[in-house]
Every structure is written in C-alpha cells, then in structure tokens.
Amino acid sequence: FLPSLPSIPSPSDALPGLMSRFSDELTALGGTFAAVTPEKLPQAILDILDEKKARRIIAWLPENLPAPGLFDWLRRAGVTIYGPMVSTSGAERESSLAERATAEAGLTSCEAVIAETGSLLMRAGLGRGRLASLIAPVHIALVTPKQFFPTFAAFVEHHRRNGTYEALCRDSSAL
C-alpha cells in the first residue's frame, strides 16, 4: 500500500479548468478532445468515424459505457460493432483476434481522466477488454465530468477518502 498522499490543490480544479488542461495536454500528445452533450454524442462519434473512414469498431460492452442506446444508434448508421471478448482457445481465438484486428476504431470509457498529463486511466475487466483501446488506430473514450482529476495523486486520494482504494487495487492487475 502507498503512504497517504496529500491532495494537491490547483486553481484549475473546477471542471472547466480540468477539461481545458486535459485538452491542452492531450493535444500536445497528438490527441483530440471534444466536450459534447449526451444528446449530441451519437452524431459526434459518427462524425469522428466518418472523418477517419471507419465503419468497424471494437467496443466495451454497453453497460460499461456512459451512453445508453449508443450502439443501436451506431448500428442504424451502418457501423459494425465487435465486442471486447475474445475466445480463449485455438482457431476460435485466432478468428476472434483477426476479426477485431479489422476494427478501424476502438470505443471505451475509462476509470479516470488525469488533466495534468492528458492521460486516461484504463482498467480492464469483464466487458472492458484492453483490445478496444489498443488494437485500432483510433481510440474514442467516452468520459463523464466526475471522471476528471487534476493529478493521479488526487485520484488516489479521492478513492482513499471514499474507502474504495483497496478494492480498486485488488480488482486491477494494473492501472
């Protein structure tokens, strides 16, 4: 267990400041950030897919994404969605991996958004396979305001205060 880490206050800890800092850092890393309302999310995702000429995506299961009904909307728009689960044996596994390797984009959420570094804290698990964020050339992460933290230390401190830190570490092989 890590020693207790102090919360590191920042003048930009309010959500707009965190979003701005994250956007700046992510842009410096070559990424793009867009804030959209839930009503505009399906079209915003479709616009990204159109721009990247992507029609096949690998995605986390719907219950792990903060966007109810999104898959139905994307399917109606002609998007093929591969799930994150891959078979564990022989030829079936090879076939599953080959199919997912054709995905032009990955769609996930994340555990946290770290503004200081422009990073997403990813945690794999049932229905949240790592391939969705790694195998495709484009990664689209859906995040909510409560997932923004100024620093990793602030994220850890938040979970310590809420009594969820030990469970988070126990349930994750890597953060």
C-alpha 151/C-alpha 163 separation (Å) is 19
Tokens 């076939």 sit at which residue? 95
Backbone angles phi, psi at 111, to 5 degrees: -80, -40
Calpha distance 121→175 (Å, rounded): 6
Tens digits of pLDDT across the chain (175 residues) = 334 444 444 434 599 999 999 999 999 999 999 999 999 999 999 999 999 999 999 999 999 999 999 999 999 999 999 999 888 888 999 999 999 999 999 999 999 999 999 999 998 888 999 999 999 999 999 999 999 999 999 999 999 999 988 888 877 755 5
Cα angle value 161/109/106 (rounded, 5°) = 155
- Residue the block writes with tokens 């505009």: 40
